[in-house]
Structure formats: C-alpha cells, structure tokens
Amino acid sequence: MLEGQTKAIRRVEYTAPAFWIDTVDLTFDLDPTKTRVLNKMRVRRNPDVAAQSLRLDGEELNLARVMVNGGGTSFKIDGNQLVLENLPEGNDAFDLEIFTTCDPSKNTQLSGLYVSNDSFFTQCEAEGFRRITYFLDRPDVMASYTVTLRADAQKYPVLLSNGNLLEQGKLEDGRHFAKWIDPHKKPCYLFALVAGQLVAREQRIVSRSGREHLLQVFVRPGDLDKTEHAMNSLMASVAWDEARFGLPLDLERFMIVATSDFNMGAMENKGLNIFNTKFVLANPATATDNDFAGIESVVGHEYFHNWTGNRITCQDWFQLSLKEGLTVFRDQEFSQDMAGVQSARAVKRIEDVRVLRTVQFPEDAGPMAHPVRPDSYVEINNFYTVTIYEKGAEVVRMMQTLVSAPGDEDGKQGFAKGMKLYFERHDGQAVTCDDFAQAISDANPGSPLAQLLPQFKRWYSQAGTPRVLAEGAYNSDNKSFTLTLSQSCAPTPDQAIKEPFVIPVSVGLLNASGTPMAVRLQGDTQGQAHPEFSKTLVLSESTQTFVFENIESVPTPSLLRNFTAPVNLDCALTEEQWLTLLAHDTDSFNRWEAGQRLAVQAALRFIRGNHNPQTEPVLGADYLEAMKAVLNHPDLDSAFKELVLTLPSETYISEQLESVDPQQVHAVREAMKLQLAQSLQTEWQTCYTQNKVTGAYSPDAKSSGKRALSGMALSMLCLAAVHDGTSIWPGKALQAFKDAHNMTDRFNALVALVGSGHELAAQALAQFHALFKNEALVIDKWFGLQASTPDRGGNILPIVRQLMQHPDFNLRNPNRARSLIFSYCSANPGGFHRTDAAGYVYWSERVIELDAINPQVAARLARALDRWKKLAEPYRQAAKTAIERVAAKSDLSKDVREVVTRALAE
C-alpha cells in the first residue's frame, strides 16, 4: 500500500475550496475500453481563501491535455492530484480544459464510469467523479452541467444524463449524440450518465401546481413487465412529498435506470436515479412482498433526496447524515403513510426498530462505532453505515417528537414548519447538520428542542447507544407513582467520557387488569380538561424523577412507547407485568416489545445457567399460553402476529450477553423455535388455512401480512413434522410450492421445506432453479436461502463452498456475491461461527479475493467479524487470527485496511 493512503481526514480540518467551478461542459466519446472525456470548466478563485495553486482530484485517468484560456499551461501530478500553479491572478473567471481517457471495461470497482451488460453506467458518490475527470471532487463545489454523449448508435441507442435533453442527432460512422443540460446546480457526486440498449415505461403526470412532468423507468428489453410497481411507487412519492412537505418535483423529466451491477441499493443523481435492479424489478411471479415493500421504500428514498440532499446538499462528507438520516426518516414516514391504518404503521415501525437494534446497536458497541456526524475517516465509503442512516433517522424523529405541542401531539406540524424554514434558509446551498437542527429548532421556539438544542446535538457528536434505567415506586398513601430515569453510555473508540443526552421517553400506565390509566405529572397544569393516557418525558440529566398523581393502584409502566429514542432500556418489570403489556398495551410497539423481552429473558436465563436445550424446555408455559392468545386473537393483524411470534434473532440475543458462544445461542434459539412449533400446532394449522390469500396478487399491507403469517405457520408445521418423523406437512409444503400463484407463497413454501431439513427440500430447490434460471434476482434468492438456512451439524459451509463452483455464481456481481457470501458470513451465525474456525477461514479468503475486484463490497464483508472481542473461546482467538490474516496482506485497499485496523485496535 502507498504511503499516506491510510491518512485520516478530519472534520475540524475543513476549509472552503480555494476555487469555485461555475460551469462544466463535458463531452464523452463512449467506448468500453477507451472513453475520451473532454471537460471544459469556468473556474474562478474563491476570494475568501488565499491559495496559489488549484489541486484537482483524479484517479486512474490518462491525462492527454490541459489548457487555460485556450492555451497551454504548466502542471504537475502529485499523487492523485493534478496541480496547476500558474493560473490567472485576480477574481475573473477563466476557462480550464482537461482532456483525459479512461477504461470503463476494467472498472470492476463500479465507482466512476463502468460497463455492465454492454451498457455504460456511472456511480459518483462519494468520490467516483474523480475517476471520470479531474475535478474539485467535494460536495460544496456546485456547478451547472452541460453534457454531450457520443457513442455507436446501434450498441448504445439510449444516451442519458442529468436534466433536460437539448438536442440529439446522427454523427458519422454510425455514431450518434445527445446533449443534456441540467437546469440545477449540483455537486459532482450527483452527476450521472447512462448509455445502452434500454427500454422505458413512461408516465406523464401533472403535479398539484399544474406543472407537467415525464416519469421514466428504464430497464433492459424483456424487463418492462416488472416496472409497474416502481412507477407506481415513484408517482406516490411525488404526490407524498408535495402533500406532506409542500415539496414539488422541480424537473420536467425524472428518470430511473436499473442495472444489475451496483454496489448498493440506488443512487439519487439529479433527475437520473440509477438503481440496483433489486429495487426496481418486480412482478408477482418473481418478487416477494418484501421485495415490493423494498422497492416502494427505495424509490421513495431516492426521490426524496431530490430535496433533502440535492437541492440542499452536504458541506462535507462528515455531514452525510444531514441528507441520509433525514431522507431515511422521510422514507420511513412515507412507507407508514402508504401502509395506512394505525396497526400497519406500527408494523413498519417495529420492522425499522428491529433493523436498528440488530445492526446499528452492535455497530455502536463495536470497533467501527462513530457519531452520527463522524470526526474522522480514512475511506468515506466505509461510513455509509446504519449509524449515519438509521440512527441518523432516529435523531430526526426525536426532533419531531421534541417539537410536539398541544394539538400537534406527534410533532408533525412543528417538524414541517422546521423543514419549511430549512428550505427558506438553505435552498441551493451545501450546509451542515447544525444548520438543519437550528432551522427545526428556530421554527419551534419554546419547544423542548429549542430549550435544549446544544445538548440535543450531542446525538450528532457522541457515539454509542445510551442505556436508560427506569425504576418505579408506588406510594399508596398519596396515590402517586414515582418514576426515576437514569442514563449512561459506555465509552466508544476515541470517546471515553459521554455527557448526558436529551432523551424523549413516551410513557403510559396500565392498571392490573391492563386498562390504561390517566397520566398526570405533579406540577403539570395542562391536560386537566381531557385526561391523557400517554406522556412524553424529556430526560436530559443523568438522573431525573417524574411523579405521576392520582394513580389509584400499582401501575404497570409502558415505557419508551413507539421507541421514542434509540436507547437500551432497562426496567425490572415482573414476568406478569410483561404479560400484561403483551396482552393489553394500547401501544402496539410496546406490545410487541413485551413479547420480545419475555423471549430474550428466557433465552438469557437458559444460556447463563448453562442449561441443555436438548433436555429442558427454554420457554415457560405462561409465555406459550400468551403466544397462543396472540395467534388466536380476533382483532390483531396477521402481520403483527407474525412479528410477535418471530423470536429475537441470534444476533440480538448475543448482544445482551457479555461473552458469546454462538453455537450455544444458536442451539437455544432453535430449541425455542421448535417448542413454539410443537406446542402451538393447532394454532399454526388454523393460521395456515385462515390466512390464505386468494384472488389477484396485491402487495398491500393486509394481504402481505396474511401471507407472512401463513408462511410462518407452514414453516412451523414442517419443523414439528420433521421432528416427529412425519411427512404430511412437508408434502403439503411441496404441493404449495408447486401450486403457488406468486413468489411470496412459493418462496415461503421453499423456506419451510429447506428450513425443516426435510429430504423433499432438495427436489424443491432443483425445481426452483429450473423455473427461474433466467431471472437473476430470483437466482440470488436461491443462493441466499441455501447460505442462510439454520445450520445442522456444520452442513452449511460445505454447501456454500460447493455453490461457489456453480456456473451461476459470479463474484464480480455484487448482488450475487452478497446473496451467497454475505448471507453465510453475516446472516447465519450458527453456520458461520464454527468451532473448527473454517467459517472464519472462508471469510478471510473471500475478503482478500473480493478486495482485488471491488474494495467497497469487500470492506462491507470485512465487517462481519466486527464483534469478535465479544466471542468466547475458541471463537475469539480464531476470529482474531482470521482478521490478522487479512491485515497481513500488504496490498489491501484503504477501504478494507481501515476496517481491519479498527477491528484489531486495542
């Protein structure tokens, strides 16, 4: 590795750019192996910064010519920078012209300009534009772009870039051109081009303001029948942003293009979003309900970036959560609004919190822990994390909660006012997280957010998940209930001491029969006219006491309703109290949470006591009765039932332990599952038959919830059957697999068979492959399922190694690599953490192999062993050895280098 490649970039070292680039005129002669790029810029000095030289970023470019104001100029190359020292003095703009070539066919990193399936695509965020031309590749340099694309007309009939098509026409030698002009200034990370054989679904819409727009979804010929849902999601997104936030579409044309080779989900390039096919293509035969939901959410997310990210962008990459946290919050709200009824909204909230707690909480407790606004990085691509995205969204959500007011209990109106002010102040600018928080606060003077703003912003600067301890005491003499809340936060790398956070805690109280009690705080003057049943307390000190009055009997507190803050909550409720919440809480989130608590407690008791799950039951009779009641409940949604009956993941259980034996956790959880399967057989059978959905497929919340529950029931029935040595249910599952009318039911039946370990699984897997051999996204599912299936006696790793030899396996395709390798290393703890260390050896081989192809994808995989220090022996030492094996390689990318260096740091 080159000297200086591991140098950390620090937030405090930010300085404004020494030059501005006002306009960029790019001409591309597209050719897979040698693309020519002519870049003409209008540049001027930034009068606020004294600097002589202009340093432009460039990577893997062949430089042919540099001209200033039409004439030659001296320049030098310094590492990855082109340095121009003899530039015109004064504040006048000058012309800078740079001519380079690059080789898109060799670009396996998929950053910059690359070729996929004979088409050209770009990916510029975060620092890919420098792989296309020399530039000030930083988000605070915003320019107006004109782009001319020239290419062979037959091979590349469609030529797209940002903005509006100005002209197109024929050229000599069978080539043609298209010229695009983007009416909006943008940072270079939002530049995009696409060229290839593509077809589009088109839709004209008229927005609220009466403006006409053309929406287009481009895919490869043959995939048009899978674009309807993406287009519907896009139309819904446009309407939602206008209705909820008053933010209209600001472009005549909005394009989405799908590619099967993509490092992440999608990219919000101005007016020309580029998507992973996984988040565009769906029809009932090939996509599951989860896929449909994922498409809606990602299409929404990228569209919402048009305002939060593109119109107002980030000053520097440390501010990434300014656009990502906010946009995730917006897409979560969008999906909730689309789901409709309250119970379906709660399901979405539970799913989001589940991701936060199973992925972000571990990140925040491990070697890669960083604040929502990091202070330093080596490779920015390593910081597109669940902390920046999901925790960032929670921080925005807390702001909304903290600007609530009488008549606006959830804070939505206050928050919308804040957004309005944010756009009034900063439209067209590159700003910071401080600017955002200030706007939300200023629009809501007097709110808890405004009162506590500097302290609230510790959520941006302090890493780690706070712990909140809640202790209640009932006083029967004066009928009061005293709730003491205390907070703490463990040290994280580089941050030993944590100051108290501002933590909104929504609270309700239930009496012994589960009826909600009116909550009134001592000294509270409001809320007397109408009794309130929920109250948001604001914890801002290390310890605070809240006294509730007129409480007639010992209450069961329902704390942190709807998960009002991203914290770990410790509260010593009795099993009976958790059961009361599970049966009666009016807050659906906490109702679900009560079930999870009971299951986690049962698992932990068992693991800590070193009991044998083969000989003793893990789950007690009360819990099983409660689950039975949930399944039989006439009013609860199927989707909610499925969530309640889903046991906490092995990862989540492990996070609650001080030292983890993954095989023990796996065995205990599998035993719990089997117990649920066996004790509730009658209920599962009823669920299976009662939740069948007939008629035309629709991915709506109600039908998808039913399919989820019937799928779970089938899995449980097959599991119990295999254990009892009977084949009736596996036989039914195979039949259901064959008869299915949609991918959700078909895949659920396949999961049930494979998960049960029944011999019919092999037949179903073979048939599934044969049916869908031409559908790449379905074949990804086929690989993924086999790699993530619960391990039985170490059977998964040999299957994974064998699947690497399958003709359909391709390490260069990120979706395929993820479907096999990540499913095994990151989503199958029981299969991966082997006592013989063979899983870790496999991991280290793949990290090294992938790093040579695609560092971004490799660095993601490198994080699978983040939590190695928490492992018990022999896993701990074996994991460390595997990480050291990777770290010992001298030619690692800085992406992987940063991850393994942090993992091994003391």
Residues forming the active site: 302
Q: How far is the CB of 564 from ligand B3K (least distance, A)?
A: 25
- 276 contact, one of Zn ion, ligand B3K, none, CB 5-8 Å limit per kind: none
Q: Are 8 and 900 in contact (CB under 8 A)?
A: no
Contact mark string toward Zn ion, 501..540, x via CB under 5 A: ----------------------------------------
Q: How far is the CB of 304 from ligand B3K (least distance, A)?
A: 9
Q: Are 312 and 260 in contact (CB under 8 A)?
A: no
Under DSSP, the state recorded for 404 is -
- Site membership for ligand B3K, residue 107 (CB under 6 A): no
Q: How far is the CB of 125 from Zn ion (least distance, A)?
A: 9
Q: How far is the CB of 266 from Zn ion (least distance, A)?
A: 8
- Site membership for ligand B3K, residue 267 (CB under 6 A): yes
Q: Are 390 and 352 in contact (CB under 8 A)?
A: yes
Kindly give, in sequence order, each residue whose CB lies less than 8 Å from that of residue 789, ignoring residues fewer than 6 positions away: 754, 755, 796, 828, 831
How much is the CA Rg of the chain, to the nearest whole Å?
A: 28
Q: Which stretch binds ligand B3K (CB under 6 A): 56-64, 297-305, 690-698, 714-722?
A: 297-305
How many helices and strands (H and E) does the chain possess?
A: 32, 33
Under DSSP, the state recorded for 133 is S
> Which helix (H) or strand (E) element contains residue 448?
helix 448-451
- Site membership for ligand B3K, residue 125 (CB under 6 A): yes
80, two tokens: 């990855």
Q: How far is the CB of 392 from Zn ion (least distance, A)?
A: 10
- Site membership for ligand B3K, residue 304 (CB under 6 A): no
Contact mark string toward Zn ion, 304..333, x via CB under 5 A: --------------------x--x------
Cα 745 from chain centroid? Answer: 25
Q: How far is the CB of 198 from ligand B3K (least distance, A)?
A: 21
673, two tokens: 């599952």
- 125 contact, one of Zn ion, ligand B3K, none, CB 5-8 Å limit per kind: ligand B3K
- DSSP, collapsed to helix, strand or coil, labels residue 452 as coil
* Choice from 302, 331, 379, 593 touching ligand B3K (CB under 6 A): 302
Where are the extended beta strands (E) located within 495-577? 503-510, 516-517, 535-539, 543-548, 556-559, 568-571
- 281 contact, one of ligand B3K, Zn ion, none, CB 5-8 Å limit per kind: none
> Which helix (H) or strand (E) element contains residue 439?
helix 433-442
Q: Tell which residue, 835, 830, 838, has the closest CA to residue 671.
A: 830
What is the footprint of Zn ion within residues 95-114 (CB under 5 A)? none
- Site membership for ligand B3K, residue 264 (CB under 6 A): yes
- DSSP, collapsed to helix, strand or coil, labels residue 410 as coil
> What is the chain's length?
906
Q: How far is the CB of 335 from Zn ion (least distance, A)?
A: 14
Q: Which is nearer to Zn ion, 308 or 819 (CB)?
A: 308
Question: Percentage helix, strand, coil, to 5, in the chain?
Answer: 45, 20, 35
Q: Tell which residue, 358, 217, 400, 385, has the closest CA to residue 899.
A: 385
Kindly give, in sequence order, each residue whose CB lies less than 8 Å from that of residue 719, ignoring residues fewer than 6 positions away: 673, 674, 677, 755, 756
- 126 contact, one of Zn ion, ligand B3K, none, CB 5-8 Å limit per kind: ligand B3K
Q: Which stretch binds ligand B3K (CB under 6 A): 27-35, 300-308, 505-513, 528-536?
A: 300-308
Residues 521, 547: Cα–Cα separation, whole Å: 6
Q: How far is the CB of 326 from ligand B3K (least distance, A)?
A: 11
What is the footprint of ligand B3K within residues 543-562 (CB under 6 A)? none
- 871 contact, one of Zn ion, ligand B3K, none, CB 5-8 Å limit per kind: none
- Site membership for ligand B3K, residue 314 (CB under 6 A): no
Q: How far is the CB of 273 from ligand B3K (least distance, A)?
A: 9
Q: Are 812 and 850 in contact (CB under 8 A)?
A: no
Sign of CA dihedral 654, 657, 662, 664: negative
Phi and psi, residue 416, nearest 5° = -65, -35
Q: Which is nearer to Zn ion, 265 or 493 (CB)?
A: 265
Residues 617, 622: Cα–Cα separation, whole Å: 13
Q: Which stretch binds ligand B3K (CB under 6 A): 51-59, 264-272, 573-581, 829-837?
A: 264-272
What is the footprint of ligand B3K within residues 345-404 (CB under 6 A)? 381, 384
- Site membership for ligand B3K, residue 301 (CB under 6 A): yes
Q: How far is the CB of 200 from ligand B3K (least distance, A)?
A: 22
Q: Which stretch binds ligand B3K (CB under 6 A): 162-170, 301-309, 561-569, 596-604?
A: 301-309
Q: Which stretch binds ligand B3K (CB under 6 A): 233-241, 266-274, 485-493, 659-667?
A: 266-274
* Choice from 59, 316, 324, 683 touching ligand B3K (CB under 6 A): 324
- DSSP, collapsed to helix, strand or coil, labels residue 48 as coil
Q: How far is the CB of 266 from ligand B3K (least distance, A)?
A: 6
Cα 634 from chain centroid? Answer: 34
Axis crossing angle, helix 289-305 with helix 320-339, rounded to the nearest 10: 130
Kindly give, in sequence order, each residue whose CB lies less than 8 Å from that of residue 287, ignoring residues fewer than 6 positions away: 226, 229, 281, 295, 743, 777
Q: Which is nearer to Zn ion, 327 or 558 (CB)?
A: 327
Q: Which stretch binds ligand B3K (CB under 6 A): 265-273, 368-376, 792-800, 864-872?
A: 265-273
Q: Report how many residues bind Zn ion under the rule CB under 5 A.
A: 2
Q: Which stretch binds ligand B3K (CB under 6 A): 262-270, 420-428, 626-634, 805-813?
A: 262-270
Residues 86, 52: Cα–Cα separation, whole Å: 8
Q: Which is nearer to ligand B3K, 57 or 302 (CB)?
A: 302
Q: How far is the CB of 324 from Zn ion (least distance, A)?
A: 5
Q: Which is nearer to Zn ion, 156 or 240 (CB)?
A: 240
Q: Tell which residue, 468, 486, 561, 475, has the closest CA to residue 522.
A: 475
Q: Which is nearer to ligand B3K, 61 or 264 (CB)?
A: 264
- Site membership for ligand B3K, residue 126 (CB under 6 A): yes
Q: Which is nearer to Zn ion, 329 or 377 (CB)?
A: 329
Beta-strand relationship, 272-276 and 253-259: parallel
Adjacency order of strands within the sheet including 112-116: 112-116, 119-123, 193-196, 158-161
Q: Which stretch binds ligand B3K (CB under 6 A): 59-67, 82-90, 261-269, 629-637?
A: 261-269
Residues 47, 404: Cα–Cα separation, whole Å: 43
Residues 165, 424: Cα–Cα separation, whole Å: 29
- DSSP, collapsed to helix, strand or coil, labels residue 87 as coil
Q: Which is nearer to ligand B3K, 302 or 670 (CB)?
A: 302
- Site membership for ligand B3K, residue 587 (CB under 6 A): no
Q: Which is nearer to Zn ion, 299 or 778 (CB)?
A: 299
End-to-end distance of the chain based on CA atoms, in angstroms?
23
**Which residues of this protein are in contact with ligand B3K, per CB under 6 A?**
125-126, 264, 266-268, 301-302, 305, 324, 381, 384
**Which residues of this protein are in contact with Zn ion, per CB under 5 A?**
324, 327
